[in-house]
Amino acid sequence: MATNWAAFAATEPGLAGLAEKRFGAFRHHVLVTLRADGSPRTSGLEVRFLGGELWLGMMQDSLKARDLRRDARFVLQSNPGSGTGMEEGDVRIGGRAVEVTDPEAKGAYVKEVEPPQPFHLFRTELTEVVRTFVEDDRYLVVQVWRPGAPVRALRRT
């Protein structure tokens, strides 16, 4: 079961807002894809939240694009920034990337973002959003959302 960003944000606006803020704090983040042999590949990536979707844009024929075309599963890790503060916590998004080839949809993205051409564009279908943060300098809190279920919070000392 998977859902797009708009549906996630409608059901969990607080967590969605924190995730957007965390990804908006820095330009580059880390994308994890699967190589042909099944091993993980980490790559830098810029992301966009536009029109109710979380978009992944990347250079034409990049290794990460090839990975996603072969196996759509991905994990996106927010940039932790400098230092160790992470006041808003750490956010990780997992799901499947669906390549966008429709000229009209891709054109709307180009108009808004003006990416270097040519490029691959993927919209995401979410299977998990996880936020990890420290609460009261005492607890490590892990919030986990999956489609069809409310956010679950785990606290550890």
**What is the overall mean pLDDT for the chain?**
94
Q: Please report the sign of the dihedral spanned by the C-alpha atoms of residue 119, residue 122, residue 5, residue 154.
A: negative
Q: What share of the chain in percent tops pLDDT 70?
A: 97
Three-class secondary structure of residue 37 per DSSP: coil
Token pair 């029109």 is at which residue?
51
Which pLDDT belongs to residue 74?
98
d(CA 27, CA 46): 6
- What is each CA distance from 120 to 15, 125, 131, in whole angstroms? 28, 16, 28
* pLDDT tens column, 52-75: 999 999 999 999 999 999 999 999
Q: Is the pLDDT of residue 82 over 80?
A: no
Q: What is the mean pLDDT of residues 111-128?
A: 95
Judging by beta carbons within 10 Å of its beta carbon (0-12, 13-18, 19+), is residue 126 exposed, middle or buried? buried
